Amino acid sequence: MDNHVTRRQMIEGIRRAEPVFFRNSPRPQMVLGQGAEKSRVNPGGVADAADRMRRAQGLLARLFPESAFADRPGQIESPLRVLMASVPLLAKCDGALPIAGSIKARGGIHEVLCHAEELALEAELINPGDDLLQLAAGQSRRLFAEHEICVGSTGNLGLSIGIAARALGFRAVIHMSRDAKQWKKQLLRSHGATVVEHEGDFSAAVQVGRAASADSPRSYFVDDENSTRLLYGYAAAAHPLRAQLAKLGVYPTADSPLCVYLPCGVGGGPAGIAYGLALEFGAAAVESYTVEPTQAPALLLAVLEERYEGLHVSDYGLTLTTDADGLAVGSPSVLAGPIIGALCSGLYTESDEAMRAYLKQFYASDGLRLELSAAAGLGGPARRAQIEGLRTPSAHLVWLTGGGLLPEDEFQRLLR
Ligand SMILES: Cc1ncc(COP(=O)(O)O)c(C=O)c1O
């Protein structure tokens, strides 16, 4: 923590919706070393996700012929860009991820594939470890048509799950919060997904979706508040990043760590990335920071209060009002919270005004076309620079988490 501010004082600042920066003391041994046996994640899960995504390349290329990364069809990867060579400031451009245009493509498509593979194995249509191209065959599609995949989402996870599930032939039911953007609902409907709209917030949509799915036979619920399959899909991003960094001459070490800024909603995305990076480079060689809207700091409050269940930002007088729809989350994921608490070097908040200013600034300087949630981390290096006594980084990496499917008129509205 910023040594001059006590936890209580910080919580008072959060209640007033002020931007705050909490310097955390990571305890990576809780998830990586001794103590890790109590953790719900393990390195095998990340390796398994990377292997599944590799076995799915032919399938994804068949289902989504336009999906490719670096001329490799069916590969769900994104470019790493240099924004300002002098800092150096790097941007991981997950808005460019094929199919879903956001970081949610990583976790969401992985979880849909897990479930499809599981069903096909049970039906003896494939064998363990097979190439998943067979999941596009008629027999598999007929099987999937009898099943439903259901999820509660602020928007982008719904897009990722809905588009992937429909392409495989599943029914898809997406429960959306009131904050969810209309264009995301329309896009999902155009893919044949059923969108159920809720008056309540994201947490309420997840709760209703979970109950509805449990009542419905042959329905599988993707639980954004608790899913290791999603988390492993995000974590698999870390290994390919090593080669991308090396191409730019960036080699994170404990003496000069990689500083990574991660927009945070329910926490699954940032927890997965932070976990993957800690495994790939070693916890000491990475500083991961989460960023949340000043009106929705669910993970920051959870880490400050050391309470990962039963907490909602409305208990602190906050409203969840933010244009960063993907980050409009009041309660933390019970899976992601302790991982973020153990691995992240800091958690901070940003106002919508600041996010909008970064969005405009980086559109002008680098042509970045982002949704507001995706722009949240752009101020990370400047915010970290205000903290004394930190190491000199090998690079700052801002994870730009979405915006790939954003319609032009929505982007123009944000710029205004
Ligand atoms: C663009 C974008 N960035 C970041 C996030 C945060 O991910 P998580 O909710 O897993 O913390 C989301 C969530 O939907 C998102 O849509």
**How does pLDDT run along the chain (416 residues), one tens digit per residue?**
554 688 999 999 999 999 999 999 999 999 997 667 778 999 999 999 999 999 999 999 999 999 989 889 999 999 999 997 667 899 999 999 999 999 999 999 999 999 999 999 999 999 999 999 999 999 999 999 999 999 999 999 999 999 999 999 999 999 998 778 999 999 999 999 999 999 989 999 999 999 999 999 899 999 999 999 999 999 999 999 999 999 999 999 999 999 999 999 999 999 999 999 999 999 999 999 999 999 999 999 999 999 999 999 999 999 999 999 999 999 999 999 999 999 999 999 999 999 999 999 999 999 999 999 999 999 999 999 999 999 999 999 999 999 999 999 999 999 98
Note the pLDDT of residue 87.
Answer: 74
Element (H, E) at 176: strand 171-176
Where in the sequence is the domain holding 125, given as residue range(s)?
104-226
* Residue 206, token pair as written in the block: 């997840």
**Atom of ligand 1 minimally distant from the CA of 329:** 9
Other beta carbons less than 10 A from residue 362's beta carbon? 21
Q: 186 and 176 in contact (C-beta within 8 Å)?
A: no
Element (H, E) at 47: helix 43-55
Q: Are residues 136 and 40 part of one domain?
A: no
CA angle 132, 138, 140 (to 5 degrees): 50
**Atom of ligand 1 minimally distant from the CA of 153:** 14
Note the pLDDT of residue 135.
Answer: 98
Q: Are residues 363 and 261 part of one domain?
A: yes
Residue 2 included in any domain = no
**333 Cβ neighbours under 8 A, 6+ residues apart:** 224, 225, 226, 266, 267, 268, 271
Q: 241 and 394 in contact (C-beta within 8 Å)?
A: no
**209 Cβ neighbours under 8 A, 6+ residues apart:** 150, 151, 152, 173, 175, 196, 221
The secondary structure of the chain in percent helix, strand, coil, rounded to multiples of 5, reads: 50, 15, 35
φ/ψ of 231, rounded to 5, equals: -60, -40
**341 Cβ neighbours under 8 A, 6+ residues apart:** 24, 27, 30, 302, 303, 306, 308
Q: Is the pTM of this model over 0.95?
A: yes
* Residue 157, token pair as written in the block: 């996870």
Q: 349 and 14 in contact (C-beta within 8 Å)?
A: yes
* Residue 174, token pair as written in the block: 């997406």
Total count of domains within the chain:
2
Q: 221 and 360 in contact (C-beta within 8 Å)?
A: no
**Domain boundary residue among 226, 257, 281?**
226
Q: Residue 404's Cα: distance from chain center in Å?
A: 14
Position 9, amino acid: Q
For residue 28, the CA-to-ligand 1 centroid distance in Å is 23
- CA distances to 45, 49, 235, 279 from 42, rounded to whole Å, are 6, 12, 11, 10
Q: Are residues 285 and 407 part of one domain?
A: yes
What residue's CA is closest to ligand 1, atom 14?
326
**Domain boundary residue among 186, 205, 226?**
226
Q: Are residues 245 and 219 part of one domain?
A: no
For residue 93, the CA-to-ligand 1 centroid distance in Å is 14
* Residue 275, token pair as written in the block: 């976990």
Q: What is the CATH number of the domain that holds 361?
A: 3.40.50.1100
Residues with CB under 6 A from ligand 1: 102-104, 154, 156-157, 263-270, 326-327, 371, 373-374, 401-402
φ/ψ of 153, rounded to 5, equals: -150, 150
